[in-house]
Amino acid sequence: AHAVSAFAINGTTGALSSVAGSPFTTGGQSPTAVAADPSGLYLFATNGSTGNVSAFAVDGATGALTPVDGSPFPAGGTAPAFAAVDPAGRFVLVADAGSTLSVFSLAIATGTLTPVAGSPFAADGVYPRSIAFEPGGGFAYVANAYSGTVSAFAIDPASGALAAVAGSPFAAGNGPYSVVTIRVAR
């Protein structure tokens, strides 16, 4: 339906109940993935068929979604399929099926997305499907489903620009669709 459904979670039972007004129209077609910023203020949905990213403000009391002014935002790459927000909530990365990564700076006061200089960046692999950040937010990792690799990028903390890590991409077996990082306590 080209929309995002929102639910409230019952903290005792775990049951879901639909948020008033849900589902919320994205303004794009074929939403494939959603991501929230760490503060819970904003939600982002990739719209694969229209090549854009929808941004919503999240009502902290009700969970209702309101489109951010200017949304949806052009992805810059072809068929955006996945989104992730860095741990500091400063940048939104979007994996484009066209083998690129679109990077946006996030205006935390408004939820507006602005492409960073140089975006979209080459994914260094075919069909990027998932993005994970190391817990400190200095590096991003991308699973490239059709090339059997994981690409690693350093993130410029001031601009959000991506630079490939030495040795990237790294072999990952057949068809990796997801990637996650874990902080190991020592």
pLDDT-derived band at 186 (thresholds 50, 70, 90) equals: confident
Statement: residue 91 has pLDDT above 80: yes
Half-sphere exposure of 167 (CA within 13 A, CB side): 3
Tens of pLDDT, residue by residue over 127-138, are 999 999 999 999
Q: Residue 161 contacts by C-beta under 8 Å, 6 or more apart in sequence?
A: 103, 116, 117, 118, 121, 155
Statement: residue 101 has pLDDT above 90: yes
Q: What does the DSSP assignment read for 69-100?
A: TTPSEE-SSSSEEEEEE-TTSSEEEEEETTTE
Beta carbons of 56 and 65 less than 8 angstroms apart: yes
Statement: residue 23 has pLDDT above 80: yes
Structure tokens at 69: 């002014």
Give the mean model confidence (pLDDT) for residues 34-53.
95
Tens of pLDDT, residue by residue over 141-164, are 999 999 999 999 999 999 999 999
What values do phi and psi take at 81, rounded to 5?
-125, -15
Average pLDDT, the chain: 94
Give the predicted TM-score (pTM) of the model. 0.93
Structure tokens at 24: 């919320």
pLDDT at site 134: 94
Angle at CA of residue 94, ends 88 and 95, nearest 5°: 130
pLDDT at site 20: 96
Q: Nearest CA to 143 among 158, 131, 161?
A: 131
Give the mean model confidence (pLDDT) for residues 65-92.
95
